[in-house]
């Protein structure tokens, strides 16, 4: 909302020396936030004067343009009194017109200095200005032609153009709709400076009678008050007075015609949207009702709209003529032939206004005010003000008929304990201060008892609860007066286990050389195709968005790999030789358990109701993904680097499992998007944790990362749930260790993990550790077989093992491997 300072000052006696900055700062402290201060004349210096064009001679030029060589009377402003010779490229004026002239020595916005200069064969002494050149708008159609009575040649044009005006633009919060008017802003200014206030809506209006235009309201809930007034004999060609054009422009509105400008002006002045009809186009009584299914209306913006039974419409005998409170229809629109104007000032139900605006995607200045709530008491005053201005400037006659249907409902009192503001704000606000400040914002307060009975003013539909009144008192006292006090300390339980574990996982990965990425969780089928996921892969069953940002990525992702691979390719594209990235984030899987229930808000839903609601929410496990591409270890003076591979991916998961003391089981599997022969399925306690290994070469090519890129994706919720809360301390034996190496030949379909597990089981309690240290394939072990060499370490907690004991344990281990895995000792 833009507010010219002079307009604010019309209604409130502010100190004469108050700067615009200080006014804006005070209003911001009261809740009308300063957005910008405009000082249109600020960048213009030197002589800017009114001039009268005496002669103009069109002179065609070689470049195809025609310029006008003008002689302009600028009075004594040029100190000679002689007419000024000026070249002008515009053509929208004629001799006798008053124009705006900047004389040599002046400066226009953009530090554009004006001097006498030779151009098109003349000495041009100044410039005839357009609105754009003065920084007053984008209008490049020509120069400014002032009204004939604007002033005398030689007078300073700043006053004529309103260039001394300063305009404050406020950001108005939705609860302060009253401040979408000069009436409301001035009231706040009066409050802020404890200054006298004159309410522009406080005017004598003619009493309602039965002679006015007939109006029927079928839906008084939707339209509680409807005032209709009529002006006849109106001159549709009458110009809008310059001061009104300027004020509208300062408020960001273009002048259209006197009738339209007057309704807009009164809306800005009082906050009450007004609609004007061409009364000669109306047939029969005006009626307000809800639309019925199937009805249509072409609104003023030329859009043909299908109406809903919730829409409030205005009709006459011809049918629907307007969308009540939101936008009028084309058939009864005011035009350049309108001589009889029916002025509608109606109070509309705010919720209906909001819904209609939303349904039809219609935003208008009127709609914005009507849907936030307008003072219902000023309908008659607003209509009367419009009639006054139309008559004054359009030369018509105010018809004596005054139609008023309905009346504003009285407001109920809010009961508020007098100490509530002090209790809620922590400021020492006394009973008296509370009452005084509530009255200052316009409330009627019955302070004879506690709780106070507070009737909010009619322009404040937002004040409904005691806490709303607390805010009013607090902002008048001043938010800067709120003391800074820490609440009493709570006995907090610190971070949760999951929060601590996630930090450890992040630190472990960063310690292992991985860089964390945060990417968007949106994905589309193309990404799944690139990963080579089978058609029936559960990861393709996504939570889809009704209104995705991009139709290419309409789903919440089920895997973190697409985003991570994209970031990998981006880093490689930017010159990285090796990339190790990780991301932790939630993925989502639909549960398809029907719509989520919506409960009331007056009391807490029951446990059953809550459970039912939570049950409809998709599963959102926390995933971790890692991508390792290119060099895992760099080349350098130490020698060749090492490319990342499947083992690096599996090693990272083993490391994380170790961090969390979770025993990890690794099994070979084939699972997209991994290489079918280089993919590990990772399990904890029988549950699938995720997968790690090298990506399928086809996937690497599709997503643009090097072949052999390795990746991990695991479910962190599963991992964290498996982490023991308390790890039992190990028993460390100090007796000597007995070492035994065994080489076992197995079929190459048998995994090392299987052999190791068999050895562990067979070796029994004396086994301290087993570690595979060599893998051999070749002629010595035969086709389709390989030799796995394990180092076994035996130790007893209470004695030195004898050779016989060690040998027996070793033999038992080998025997179990032979039995379970077909292993043959070499």
Partner 1 sequence: MSGPNTDFDPVEVTAVQPEEVEAARDAALAAIAAAGDLEALKQVRIDHTGDRSPLALANREIGALPPQGRKEAGQRIGQARGAVSQALAARQAVLEAEAEERMLVEETVDVTLPTDRLPAGARHPITTGSELIADIFVAMGWEVAEGPVIEAEWLNFDALNLGPDHPARTMQDTFWTEPEDHGLVLRTHTSPVQARTMLSRTPPIYVVCPGRVFRTDEYDATHSPVFHQVEGLAVDEGITLAHLKGTLDHFATQMFGEGITTRFRPSYFPFTEPSAEVDLVCFVCRGAGTLDGAACRTCKGEGWIEWGGCGIVNPRVLAACGVDAERYTGFAFGMGIDRTLMFRHGLEDLRELFEGDVRFTTAFGSELG
* Interface of this chain with partner 1, residues 639 to 668, rule: CB under 8 A: 641
Q: Cis link prior to 451 (omega < 30° from 0)?
A: yes
**Closest-CA residue to 739 (of 771, 705, 782):** 771
- Closest separation in Å from C-beta 596 to partner 1: 4
In the list 90, 208, 260, 512, the residue contacting partner 1 (rule: CB under 8 A) is 512
Tokens of 780: 């010595």
Report the relative pairing of strands 145-146 and 98-102 from DSSP bridges.
Answer: antiparallel
Does the protein bind partner 1 through residue 43 (CB under 8 A)?
A: no
- Closest separation in Å from C-beta 310 to partner 1: 11
Distance of CA 98 to the CA centre of its chain: 47
**Who contacts 254 (Cβ-Cβ below 8 Å, separation ≥6)?**
248
Residues 286-305 touching partner 1, rule: CB under 8 A, are none
Does the protein bind partner 1 through residue 169 (CB under 8 A)?
A: no
3-state secondary structure at position 578: strand
In the list 80, 210, 449, 499, the residue contacting partner 1 (rule: CB under 8 A) is 499
In the list 604, 701, 771, 799, the residue contacting partner 1 (rule: CB under 8 A) is 604
Residue 541 CA to residue 547 CA, distance in Å, equals 18
State the binding string over 422-441 for partner 1 (x if CB under 8 A, else -).
-xxxxx--------------
In the list 17, 149, 336, 489, the residue contacting partner 1 (rule: CB under 8 A) is 489
Does the protein bind partner 1 through residue 551 (CB under 8 A)?
A: no
Q: Which stretch binds partner 1 (CB under 8 A): 4-12, 88-96, 295-303, 637-645?
A: 637-645
Cβ proximity to partner 1, 634 vs 771, nearer residue? 634
- Closest separation in Å from C-beta 47 to partner 1: 31
Cβ proximity to partner 1, 79 vs 574, nearer residue? 574
Place of tokens 């400076």: 193
Cβ proximity to partner 1, 439 vs 465, nearer residue? 465
- Ranges of H-type helices in 154-306: 157-161, 182-193, 242-250, 258-270
**Who contacts 611 (Cβ-Cβ below 8 Å, separation ≥6)?**
none
**Closest-CA residue to 674 (of 712, 630, 622):** 712
Q: Which stretch binds partner 1 (CB under 8 A): 35-43, 115-123, 142-150, 347-355?
A: 347-355
Question: What stretches of 1-60 adopt beta strand conformation (E)?
Answer: 2-4, 33-38, 48-60
- Closest separation in Å from C-beta 291 to partner 1: 19
Residues 90-149 touching partner 1, rule: CB under 8 A, are none
In the list 123, 306, 510, 611, the residue contacting partner 1 (rule: CB under 8 A) is 510
The full length of the chain comes to 826
Distance of CA 380 to the CA centre of its chain: 38
Report the relative pairing of strands 286-290 and 215-217 from DSSP bridges.
Answer: parallel
Does the protein bind partner 1 through residue 482 (CB under 8 A)?
A: yes
- Closest separation in Å from C-beta 662 to partner 1: 21
Distance of CA 678 to the CA centre of its chain: 45
- Closest separation in Å from C-beta 512 to partner 1: 6
Tokens of 345: 């000032």
Place of tokens 């035969």: 782
Q: Are 801 and 766 in contact (CB under 8 A)?
A: yes
Residue 150 CA to residue 154 CA, distance in Å, equals 12
Does the protein bind partner 1 through residue 810 (CB under 8 A)?
A: no
Cβ proximity to partner 1, 204 vs 603, nearer residue? 603
In the list 49, 101, 416, 580, the residue contacting partner 1 (rule: CB under 8 A) is 580
Q: Which stretch binds partner 1 (CB under 8 A): 36-44, 156-164, 491-499, 665-673?
A: 491-499
Place of tokens 């030799």: 787
Q: Which stretch binds partner 1 (CB under 8 A): 96-104, 333-341, 519-527, 713-721?
A: 519-527
Residues 350-369 touching partner 1, rule: CB under 8 A, are 351, 354-355, 358
Residue 792 CA to residue 805 CA, distance in Å, equals 14
In the list 117, 198, 497, 634, the residue contacting partner 1 (rule: CB under 8 A) is 634
Residue 459 CA to residue 377 CA, distance in Å, equals 8
In the list 152, 317, 446, 465, the residue contacting partner 1 (rule: CB under 8 A) is 465
Q: Which stretch binds partner 1 (CB under 8 A): 16-24, 47-55, 596-604, 661-669?
A: 596-604
The set of long-range contacts for 112-116, using a CB threshold of 8 Å and a minimum separation of 24, is 114/46
Does the protein bind partner 1 through residue 617 (CB under 8 A)?
A: yes
Residue 329 CA to residue 312 CA, distance in Å, equals 13
Q: Are 320 and 291 in contact (CB under 8 A)?
A: yes
In the list 323, 581, 720, 738, the residue contacting partner 1 (rule: CB under 8 A) is 581
Residues 767-786 touching partner 1, rule: CB under 8 A, are none
Q: Is 29 exposed, middle or buried (0-12, 13-18, 19+ CB in 10 A)?
A: middle
Does the protein bind partner 1 through residue 279 (CB under 8 A)?
A: no
3-state secondary structure at position 22: helix
In the list 547, 765, 798, 804, the residue contacting partner 1 (rule: CB under 8 A) is 547
Does the protein bind partner 1 through residue 633 (CB under 8 A)?
A: yes
The 10 Å CB-count burial string (b at 16+, else e) for 586-601 is bbbbeeeeeeeeeeee
- Closest separation in Å from C-beta 199 to partner 1: 23
In the list 96, 302, 410, 595, the residue contacting partner 1 (rule: CB under 8 A) is 595
Cβ proximity to partner 1, 481 vs 780, nearer residue? 481
- Closest separation in Å from C-beta 616 to partner 1: 7
Q: Which stretch binds partner 1 (CB under 8 A): 41-49, 211-219, 564-572, 812-820?
A: 564-572
H helix or E strand, kind and range, residue 385: helix 379-394
- Closest separation in Å from C-beta 219 to partner 1: 18
State the binding string over 9-38 for partner 1 (x if CB under 8 A, else -).
-------------------xxxx-x-----
Residue 720 CA to residue 662 CA, distance in Å, equals 9
Does the protein bind partner 1 through residue 611 (CB under 8 A)?
A: no
- Closest separation in Å from C-beta 713 to partner 1: 16
Residues 365-404 touching partner 1, rule: CB under 8 A, are none
Residues 174-233 touching partner 1, rule: CB under 8 A, are 174-176
In terms of phi and psi (left: phi > 0; alpha: psi -120 to 50; beta: otherwise), the region of 32 is beta
Q: Which stretch binds partner 1 (CB under 8 A): 386-394, 440-448, 565-573, 767-775?
A: 565-573
Q: Which stretch binds partner 1 (CB under 8 A): 133-141, 381-389, 539-547, 701-709?
A: 539-547
**Closest-CA residue to 540 (of 528, 551, 552):** 528
Residue 817 CA to residue 772 CA, distance in Å, equals 14
Neighbouring CB atoms inside 10 A of 812's CB total 17
Cβ proximity to partner 1, 428 vs 797, nearer residue? 428
Residue 400 CA to residue 388 CA, distance in Å, equals 13
**Closest-CA residue to 241 (of 340, 148, 138):** 148
Does the protein bind partner 1 through residue 543 (CB under 8 A)?
A: yes
- Closest separation in Å from C-beta 408 to partner 1: 22
Q: Which stretch binds partner 1 (CB under 8 A): 274-282, 434-442, 468-476, 530-538?
A: 468-476
DSSP letter at 247? H
């Amino acid at each position: 909302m833009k507010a010219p300072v002079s307009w604010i000052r019309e209604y409130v006696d502010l100190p004469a020396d108050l700067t615009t900055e200080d006014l804006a700062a005070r209003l911001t402290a009261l809740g009308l936030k300063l957005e910008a201060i405009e000082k249109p004349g600020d960048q213009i210096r030197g002589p800017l004067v009114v001039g009268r064009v005496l002669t103009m001679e069109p002179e065609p030029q070689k470049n195809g343009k025609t310029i006008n060589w003008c002689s302009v009377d600028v009075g004594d402003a040029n100190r000679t009194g002689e007419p000024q010779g000026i070249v002008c490229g515009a053509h929208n004026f004629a001799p006798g017109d008053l124009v705006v002239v900047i004389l040599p020595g002046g400066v226009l916005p953009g530090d554009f200095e004006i001097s006498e200069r030779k151009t098109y064969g003349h000495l041009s002494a100044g410039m005839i200005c357009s609105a754009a050149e003065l920084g007053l708008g984008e209008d490049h159609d020509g120069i400014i032609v002032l009204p004939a009575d604007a002033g005398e040649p030689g007078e300073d044009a700043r006053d004529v153009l309103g260039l001394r005006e300063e305009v404050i633009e406020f950001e108005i919060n939705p609860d302060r709709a009253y401040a979408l008017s000069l009436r409301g802003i001035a009231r706040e200014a009066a409050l802020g400076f404890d200054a006298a206030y004159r309410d522009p809506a406080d005017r004598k209006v003619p009493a309602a009678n039965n002679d006015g235009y007939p109006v029927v309201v079928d839906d008084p809930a939707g339209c509680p008050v409807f005032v209709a007034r009529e002006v006849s004999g109106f001159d549709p060609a009458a110009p809008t007075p310059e001061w009104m054009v300027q004020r509208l422009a300062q408020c960001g509105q273009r002048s259209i015609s006197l009738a339209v400008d007057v309704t807009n002006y009164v809306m800005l002045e009082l906050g009450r949207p007004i609609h004007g009809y061409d009364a000669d186009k109306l047939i029969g009584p005006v009626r307000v009702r809800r639309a019925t299914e199937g009805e249509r209306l072409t609104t003023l913006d030329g859009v043909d709209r299908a109406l809903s039974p919730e829409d409030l419409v205005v009709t006459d005998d011809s049918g629907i003529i307007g969308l009540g409170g939101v936008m009028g229809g084309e058939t009864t629109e005011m035009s350049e032939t309108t001589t009889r104007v029916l002025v509608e000032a109606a109070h509309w139900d705010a919720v209906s206004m909001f819904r209609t605006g939303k349904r039809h995607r219609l935003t208008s200045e009127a709609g914005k005010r009507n849907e936030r709530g307008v003072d219902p008491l000023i309908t008659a005053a607003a209509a009367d003000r419009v009639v006054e201005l139309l008559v004054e400037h359009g030369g018509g006659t105010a018809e004596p008929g005054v139609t008023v249907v309905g009346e504003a409902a009285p407001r109920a009192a809010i009961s508020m304990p007098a100490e509530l503001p002090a209790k809620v704000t922590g400021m020492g606000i006394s009973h008296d201060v509370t009452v005084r400040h509530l009255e200052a914002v316009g409330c009627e307060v019955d302070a004879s008892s506690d709780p106070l009975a507070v009737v909010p003013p009619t322009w404040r539909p937002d004040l409904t609860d005691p806490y709303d009144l607390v805010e009013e008192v607090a902002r008048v006292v001043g938010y800067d007066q709120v003391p800074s006090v820490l609440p009493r300390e709570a006995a907090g339980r610190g971070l949760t286990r999951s929060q601590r574990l996630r930090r450890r996982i992040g630190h472990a990965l960063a310690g292992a050389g991985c860089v964390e990425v945060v990417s968007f969780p949106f994905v589309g089928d193309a990404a799944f195709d690139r990963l080579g996921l089978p058609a029936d892969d559960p990861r393709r069953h996504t939570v889809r968005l009704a209104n995705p940002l991009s139709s290419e990525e309409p789903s919440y992702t089920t895997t973190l790999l697409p985003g991570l691979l994209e970031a990998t390719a981006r880093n490689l594209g930017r010159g990285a030789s090796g990339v190790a990235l990780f991301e932790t984030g939630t993925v989502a899987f639909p549960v398809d358990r029907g719509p989520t229930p919506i409960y009331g808000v007056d009391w807490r839903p029951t446990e059953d109701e809550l459970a039912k609601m939570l049950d409809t929410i998709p599963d959102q496990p926390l995933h971790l993904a890692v991508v390792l591409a290119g060099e895992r270890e760099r080349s350098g003076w130490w020698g060749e680097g090492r490319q990342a591979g499947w083992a690096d991916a599996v090693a990272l998961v083993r490391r994380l499992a170790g961090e969390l003391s979770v025993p990890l089981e690794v099994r070979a599997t084939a699972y997209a998007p991994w290489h079918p022969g280089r993919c590990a399925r990772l399990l904890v306690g029988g549950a699938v944790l995720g997968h790690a290994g090298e990506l399928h070469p086809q996937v690497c090519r599709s997503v643009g990362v090097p072949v052999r890129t390795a990746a991990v994706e695991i479910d962190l919720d599963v991992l964290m749930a498996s982490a023991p809360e308390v790890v039992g301390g190990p028993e460390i034996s100090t007796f000597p260790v007995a070492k035994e190496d065994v080489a076992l030949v197995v079929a190459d379909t048998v995994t090392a993990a299987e052999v190791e597990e068999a050895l562990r089981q067979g070796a029994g309690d004396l086994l301290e550790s087993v570690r595979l240290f060599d893998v051999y394939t070749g002629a010595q072990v035969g086709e389709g077989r390989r030799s796995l060499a394990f180092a076994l370490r035996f130790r007893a907690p209470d004695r030195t093992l004898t050779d016989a004991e060690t040998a027996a344990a070793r033999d038992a281990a080998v025997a179990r491997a032979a039995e379970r895995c077909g292993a043959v000792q070499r």
